[in-house]
Amino acid sequence: MSADFELLRNVTIGQYIPAESPVHHMDPRAKLLATLFVGLAIASTRSIAASLILLGVLMLVTRVAQLDISYVLRGLLPGLGALLFIFAFQFLFQGPNVPCTELFFKWRFIQISPCLIYILVLGAVRVVAFLFLVSLLTLTTTASHLTHASEMLLTPFQRIGLPAHEMALANMIALRFIPTLADELDRIMKAQASRGADIGERRWWRPDKMVRERMPLFVPLFVNSLRRAEELVVAMEARAYIGGKGRTKFVTFTSRVSDWVVVALTALLWIAAMRLPWAAWENALFGIHWQP
């Protein structure tokens, strides 16, 4: 029962792990851009081989960052049930939407082809690669550095009306309050359980019951959070907070040439994932010709 209250136990994304590694010491702005390019590379490629190479590179960087690969993989656990369900659904019903010259099995609308299996394996590799990518960024960079870096990268877009500073401040407030609200949620769950609520009952096949179980958590969570917001607004206005133009920054970053070399390399990785003839290479080396 106590495990039902430890909701954040298997959440690895977003937890900074301090270490003395080149990845940790990289300029957060460069790290964000590099993450963007590798993310585009993973999303662009239609080849399992290219996706596996990208996953291998990410695993290598994970080791360089002195992080445990099994710890990163634990991040799959919270969404594993939903992921397996989606893959099973796609396996059974996506067949007719995937044109293929070969067919393993056909019964009514269920069509299992090598092209479908190729797409499913590609999807699975992409899910793991994205997990490693996001974990690498958040496990090696503090949340405040990420926020400041994103603000600095978005500053040029202020000219077209993007409220970069305000968005960064909202993110900073969110980062400050996530642990507080997680504690608050824990407290509400225990309070409702002590009043006889069915907290922690595993009835995933009855979404209506799950809603009735969670509604007594959601309403106080929202209302108490809005009350905290009100207190913070009063505190900020009492201190004459004025955002936007002319504010100086307490946090500044210094970058080295090597940081931007890494960004350039990841941009090349993106171009390689998009432009190189991966399908022809897979066909020549392994006889695989089922790429989408």
Partner 1 sequence: MTISTRSIVVAGILIAISSVLALTGLGYFPVPNVTSEATVMQVPAIIGGILEGPVVGVIVGMVFGLNALLRFSGLPIFAGQPAWMPFVVLFLPRLLIGVTAWLTYVGLKRTNEIFALGAAAVVGTLTNTVVVIGLGILFGILPVAIIPTVLPQAAFESVVAAVLTIAVVAAWKSIDRGKGGSSV
Residues 97-136 that bind partner 1 (CB under 8 A): 97, 119-120, 122-124, 126-130, 134
**Binding positions for partner 1, 232-251, rule CB under 8 A:** 232-233, 236-237, 241, 243-244
Q: Is 16 in the site for partner 1 (CB under 8 A)?
A: no
Q: Is 43 in the site for partner 1 (CB under 8 A)?
A: yes
**Minimum distance between the CB of residue 256 and partner 1, rounded to whole angstroms?**
29
Q: Is 222 in the site for partner 1 (CB under 8 A)?
A: yes
Q: Is 96 in the site for partner 1 (CB under 8 A)?
A: yes
Select 67 or 98, whichever has its Cβ closest to partner 1.
Answer: 98
**Minimum distance between the CB of residue 25 and partner 1, rounded to whole angstroms?**
25
Q: Is 286 in the site for partner 1 (CB under 8 A)?
A: no
The three-state DSSP-derived secondary structure of the chain is: CHHHHCCCCCCCCCCCCCCCCHHHHCCHHHHHHHHHHHHHHHHHCCCHHHHHHHHHHHHHHHHHCCCCHHHHHHHHHHHHHHHHHHHHHHHHHCHHHCCCCCCCEEECCEEECHHHHHHHHHHHHHHHHHHHHHHHHHHHCCHHHHHHHHHHHHHHHHHHCCCHHHHHHHHHHHHHHHHHHHHHHHHHHHHHHHCCCCCCCCCCCCHHHHHHHHHHHHHHHHHHHHHHHHHHHHHHHHCCCCCCCCCCCCCCCCCCHHHHHHHHHHHHHHHHHHHCCHHHHHHHHHCCCCCC
**Minimum distance between the CB of residue 22 and partner 1, rounded to whole angstroms?**
25
Q: Is 19 in the site for partner 1 (CB under 8 A)?
A: no
**Minimum distance between the CB of residue 95 and partner 1, rounded to whole angstroms?**
11
The amino acid that residue 103 corresponds to is L
Applying CB under 8 A, the span of 9-17, 18-26, 28-36, 54-62 interacting with partner 1 comes to 9-17
Q: Is 289 in the site for partner 1 (CB under 8 A)?
A: no
Select 21 or 225, whichever has its Cβ closest to partner 1.
Answer: 225
Select 62 or 135, whichever has its Cβ closest to partner 1.
Answer: 135
Select 122 or 262, whichever has its Cβ closest to partner 1.
Answer: 122
